[in-house]
Structure 1
């Protein structure tokens, strides 16, 4: 993947790779870009990373990876009227974007004009909507999943037994993945549920070695390798399972930062994971390799002027769209060369 952030090792030693990193011009990132050494295949996965990770027994061992220079630059901005926050960006296709805040789901053009609005009541500012491969909108309201087809018709699609926090439509299988919870005898339980478009429950993901994987799965994405990535604001962690629901790894943030409070998450076409950290001490955006063994902080308050990153979306052209709480502007960065 020569155009991605990480590529297969071209034969250079790890020392040479780290030397390249240390000699990079980091002025544009105000020395806020950090690199996590790739994991040596012969050693434990958590013994060499500068992040705070936990790896499962099925963590994939792939070839060594090489760092490519990355300096995100803000290209443009999309400003909306009568909008306080932008908490989730679900889809950008052509000149159309779908995004939401606590009160409404909005269809806009890339000039910021609102083309359509659907009223919701999302007190948690979660991934309250998604768009499938056919362009149909699905959104959460009053614990129902509503579907808006391309002809504009809105119908109740599904009413799960558990409370729905978040929703994501797979661009691989076209199934819906829901983040759900229930309070049972004063105990809070959470799990992911996968449904077909025929409303058939296909999968339930809840435990790893008898312990709950999730507490509050607020945002969901699916990687190119079918891994399911979630941010959990109760555990303050990114949790990744494979397509079968088997635990792969958790990411607790970068060791150089004081705190980690993950919200919006997405994946790019190279299989990398991009996640917002809205912790007040160090608001930032992180980029992880698909294995979780390499992490970069690619956007920060000092270097890029972000204050409360919340929703994030990566298109196929190397652009990153960032929505923030308390802002009516989507910031657009060129983050891949």
Structure 2
């Protein structure tokens, strides 16, 4: 490994240099294109001036001809030519109006170094693992749990929310829920209310999560912040400028992933934070095209066991999955079905111990189960689900589902 170290890093810098060369080529192409545009404008400018000059020269020629006629009359002794002469002073005083042409200008845009850095590429973190741990990464769970032939409905937790939007689990059989009020409620697995927390702003949270230390996190779109509730006190963890936070996910390494949208709902992106420090931005694919729809703030997010980042993009009608480095792996846009006759509307997403991905299809009242490569496995559609949205899976692979129009959370068993 030591012997191959220099070669490996040299290859890394070579790849980066090739990316730089490609950027330089693209910049040269843009500059040449703009120079061509300037040349075309210059030709038009010259044509306008030459046309105006031709009009003036033509008028000058007519005036000279008229002056010659006058001089001939002056020399003549015949009265008739003088009497018949008609002055053209008024005609000649109407000279062509002066042409005012403004030169084109080049307005350079300010260089945003941080944005350029994120667009150029990303260096993944240095990670270390023993051989045993590498085996575990390649095989996320040695115990293979198959899907039940028919998922089982276990119980309903009445949360008291008029409209519930989000649910997240702790490994101790505890779930947190939030809806369209400023209350965030905590329940045990039997449905008993343990705790209620109110948002600091008084507005409803857009999403909730629990960090690696067990503290509650919630996003507040009205203040553009992500907040942490620690020992009963709410503290601001992240404050955004020009963006609004949406859905949250705490990764296996303790990082925070947050979906967010620009203030005017024209752009969306995923940002990774370590504490309050921004580490990674995921917004464009390899062709610099947006990965996510820009006109929507409904983008649920989760991390899979293989560290893939999975986003349920409601308005795009797609589940978008990128690898840890932010490169697009695949998109899932639904599964053909004679019984599911409405467009695929993913409105919640989670993953289980088998690296399967579960996403709520709100308008078709069901859950899609996919493998880690985006292949459809089956539906969960037999548990009287009505407009499902937020999803989470506990450490026993029990599925908790929110029904957006009611304040209920359903607990479902779907694995053997």
TM-score bracket, shorter-length normalisation: 0.7 to 0.9
TM-score by length of 1: 0.72
**Residue of structure 2 in register with 1:311 after alignment:** 390
Q: Distance in 2 between matches of 1:277 and 1:68?
A: 19
Match of 2:157 among 46, 53, 78: 78
Q: What pairs with 1:184-333 in structure 2 (closer than 5 Å)?
A: 188-197=266-275, 199-208=276-285, 209-215=287-293, 216=296, 218-256=299-337, 257-258=340-341, 259-279=343-363, 282-298=364-380, 300=381, 303-333=382-412
Q: Distance in 2 between matches of 1:101 and 1:267?
A: 22
8 Å Cα contact 1:272-1:290 kept in structure 2: yes
**Residue of structure 2 in register with 1:45 after alignment:** none
Larger RCO, structures 1/2 (Cα 8 Å, 6+ apart): 1
Q: 1:112 to 1:310 in 2, by over 3 A?
A: farther
**Residue of structure 1 in register with 2:260 after alignment:** 180
Deviation at 1:207, TM superposition (A): 0.5
8 Å Cα contact 1:312-1:322 kept in structure 2: yes
**Residue of structure 1 in register with 2:73 after alignment:** none
Deviations 1:56-104 (A, max 9, x none): xxxxxx9xx99755310111121123x2122111223324211111223
RMSD: 2.2
Q: Distance in 2 between matches of 1:77 and 1:168?
A: 24
Q: Distance in 1 between matches of 2:384 and 2:187?
A: 24
Secondary structure of the corresponding residue to residue 246 of structure 2: strand
Q: Distance in 1 between matches of 2:394 and 2:306?
A: 17
Q: 1:190 to 1:77 in 2, by over 3 A?
A: same
Q: Distance in 1 between matches of 2:271 and 2:147?
A: 37
Secondary structure of the corresponding residue to residue 71 of structure 1: strand
Question: What 5-or-longer segments of structure 2 have no aligned partner?
Answer: 1-138
Query: Is 1:147 aligned to residue 228 of structure 2?
Result: yes
Q: What pairs with 1:11-26 in structure 2 (closer than 5 Å)?
A: none
Question: What 5-or-longer segments of structure 1 have no aligned partner?
Answer: 1-61
Deviation at 1:105, TM superposition (A): 2.0
Deviation at 1:183, TM superposition (A): 4.6
**Residue of structure 2 in register with 1:163 after alignment:** 244
More strand by share: 1
8 Å Cα contact 2:152-2:413 kept in structure 1: yes
Q: Distance in 1 between matches of 2:150 and 2:357?
A: 17
Q: Distance in 1 between matches of 2:145 and 2:260?
A: 38
Q: Distance in 2 between matches of 1:318 and 1:167?
A: 20
Residues 319-328 or 91-100, more deviating: 91-100
8 Å Cα contact 1:80-1:114 kept in structure 2: no
Q: Distance in 1 between matches of 2:151 and 2:260?
A: 34
Q: Which has the larger radius of gyration?
A: 2
**Residue of structure 2 in register with 1:23 after alignment:** none
More helix by share: 2
Q: Distance in 1 between matches of 2:169 and 2:268?
A: 26
8 Å Cα contact 1:108-1:116 kept in structure 2: no
Q: Distance in 2 between matches of 1:195 and 1:67?
A: 34
TM-score by length of 2: 0.59
Secondary structure of the corresponding residue to residue 150 of structure 2: coil
